Structure 1
Amino acid sequence: MAGRWMDLGMFNARGVPGADALGAAIENMVTGISSPVDSDRGLAARLRYLTKTDAGYEAMNRAGIHVSPRTLIAWLAEEHKPNGANLNRLDAAYWDLRRRNVATDLKYRLNNNGRGTRGESNPVDQSGVERKHQRDVASRNINVRGVRDRAVDAWIDEDFGELDAIWDEIVQDIGSEYDMYANVSSIGWAA
């Protein structure tokens, strides 16, 4: 990782490593059920989504849901409600499966017919930094062309080392000021 700003908070600047912001920007593109898992509607929707395919059962297994078929049928029929731990596991399984299911779409959206997706990297928040220590850093346009598939794969695998390497590749295109974008306040795009 680039790093002239090794002590980012030393003068009260606030931001996150670019790789973390990149992962968060991809994560923000994932939408799903908005009803909470502990509501009847939210639980029923998650159970339907998870039990439609083998991938849903695999997601439940990864989340640590190991119940008998009879218990699962009772949950689906709304005869019994899962305990708090299983509700949390069901929610985790739902979002895991949702992320995996939308990964292909995310790659397509970020590819944008081969043009890549333009985004904006917003610099660290320097509002708490004394004027004499502030740096003149503006928002910069970025493009995820060439690394989009790798970025989505790293995000889905939670491979933060790979996201960091990808972020370094993206900011290299900024030019000589790339080091100022090792940490950012956010990344956004309209993909």
Structure 2
Amino acid sequence: MAGRWANFGFYGAQGVPGWVALGREMDRNVTGIKSPVESTRGLAARLRYLTRSPAGLEAMRRAGITAPQRRIDAWVARTVRPNKANLQRIDSAYWDLRRRNLGVEWQRRLADRGTRIEIHPVDQRDVTPGRERNIPVRRITVRGHRIWDDIIQAWIDEDGQMLDIVWDEIITDIGSDYDSYSYVSSVGFGI
């Protein structure tokens, strides 16, 4: 992380590291089944999504589901209901697969055309009088296969260290005041 904010918040500024805000914005854009996994409809929809491809079965394995295929088939057929622990694993597997599938789609779209990112600076409402800084909202366009591949892969892997590195790459394009955006209130963009 860029470095002038060694004592971030000392004078009352509030915010989060830019890479955290970037990850949160990407998470906010993940949509999916609204019905809870405990409901018949929510469970059936998740199981349909997970069992229609090898990637879904792999997501179930990553989530810790060790049930044999005949048991999974019984869940899909609604003749057997998963226990509470497996319901949570099914939900985790579903959201993991959604993230991965959306990541592939986003990589394809964003790398070619790029996207405009709006960076909102730290909240200075509670900053000690006289210590405020004039930090404007910034809008930058992020383009390129490599940077979007890195952003999305780090987000899918939940790799905060890599997201931090990529965030530094993004803000260095701002110019000499880039370090003012190491911490931010929020990040917005349209995926």
| TM-score, scaled relative to structure 2 | 0.91
Cα distance in 2, alignment partners of residues 7 and 84 from structure 1: 44
With over 3 angstroms needed to count, the CA separation of the structure-2 counterparts of 1:115 and 1:69, relative to structure 1, is closer
Q: State the Cα distance separating 1:108 from its structure 2 match.
A: 2.6
SS at match of 1:133: coil
Q: 2:138 and 2:181 mapped to 1: Cα distance?
A: 9
Q: Show CA shifts across 1:71-129 (max 9, x none).
A: 22232122332222111111110011111112121113323xx3421110111112222
The alignment of Structure 1 onto Structure 2 pairs a total of residues equal to 189
Change (3 A) 1:104 1:70: closer
CA deviation vs aligned residue, 1:140-189 (integer Å, no higher than 9, x gap): 01222131122111211222222111111111111111111001111111
Gaps of 5+ in 1: none
Residue 12 and residue 82 in structure 1: after superposition, are their counterparts in 2 closer, same or farther (change >3 A)?
A: farther
Tell me what 1:158 maps to. Answer: 158
- In structure 1, the residue matched to 2:46 is 46
Equivalent residues of 1:143, 1:170 under 8 A apart: no
Matched, 1:135 2:133: yes
1:5-62 CA deviation, whole Å, 9 max, x = no partner? 2222222322111111122222222211111111111111001111111111111011
Residue in 1 aligned with 2:77?
A: 77
Q: Which residue of 2 aligns with 1:33?
A: 33
3-state SS of 1:79 partner? coil
Moved over 6 A (4+): none
Which deviates the most, 61-70 or 128-137?
128-137
Give the Cα separation in 2 of the matches to 1:78 and 1:150. Answer: 40
RMSD: 1.5
Aligned mates of 2:141, 2:60 — CA distance in 1? 35
Could you tell me which residue of structure 2 aligns to residue 63 of structure 1? 63
Distance 2:150 2:184 in 1: 21
Unpaired runs of at least 5, structure 2: none
Work out the CA distance in 2 between the residues paired with 1:69 and 1:190.
Answer: 39
Q: Distance in 1 between matches of 2:126 and 2:81?
A: 48
Q: How does 1:168-179 map to 2 (within 5 A)?
A: 168-179=168-179
> The residue matched to 2:185 in structure 1 has which SS?
strand
Q: Determine helix, strand or coil for the equivalent of 1:50.
A: helix
